[in-house]
Amino acid sequence: MTAVSIDDRLAPSDQVVIRELAGESVILDLKSGVYFGLNGIGTHVWTLVAQGGSLRDVNAALGAEFDAPAGVIEREVLRFAGELCAHGLCRVAEPR
């Protein structure tokens, strides 16, 4: 699993395309030919990441929208971000 920190920004790979439907989405990695499915929140995170926000911004947005115990959202955002990077769908972007 790729280690990411809460202050990192992620940049989606330019080799992926995404199609969204009813809040869920499918990502095609053109480089590997592998498809990935994202659930509703995963799609939400992807959208926020693609808009250029940091993982801290993503955490804040989700925290404002969803009810979860303290620290759970941040932990899941970091885990999910690590998975996206591990699969080559995103990379940690250079700091602004």
Partner 1 sequence: MADHDPKVPATTSRKADANAKKPFEAPRLTVYGDYGLTLESDLPLRAAAPAAGRPIDVTFTMEPLTGSAPGTRSPGEAFWYQSDWVDDRSGAPGLVIYRSLHTGAFRIRYSDGVEFLIDADGRHIAGRAPSDASLADVACYVTGPVLGFVLRLRGVIALHASAVEVAGRAILLVGDARAGKSTTAAVLATMGCKVITEDIAALSIEQETVSVREGCPEIALRPDAVAQLFGSAEALPRFSDTWEKRRLDLTEMGAFSSGTVRLGGVYMLTNTDSVPNAPCITALSTGGAMVELLANVYGNRLFHDELRMRELDTVHRVVRSVPVRVAATGAEQRLIGRFCEVLLDDLHRA
Task: Give the whole-angstrom CA distance, residue 23 versus residue 4.
Answer: 25
Instruction: Compute the least distance from the CB of residue 61 to partner 1, in Å.
Output: 21
28, amino acid identity: L
Which residue of 14, 21, 69, 96 would you call a contact of partner 1, by CB under 8 A?
21
Count, residues near partner 1 per rule CB under 8 A: 15
| Site membership for partner 1, residue 28 (CB under 8 A) | yes
Beta bridge partners of 19: 26
Q: Which stretch binds partner 1 (CB under 8 A): 4-12, 26-34, 46-54, 80-88?
A: 26-34
Quick one: 39 exposed, middle or buried, by C-beta within 10 A (0-12, 13-18, 19+)? exposed
| Site membership for partner 1, residue 70 (CB under 8 A) | no
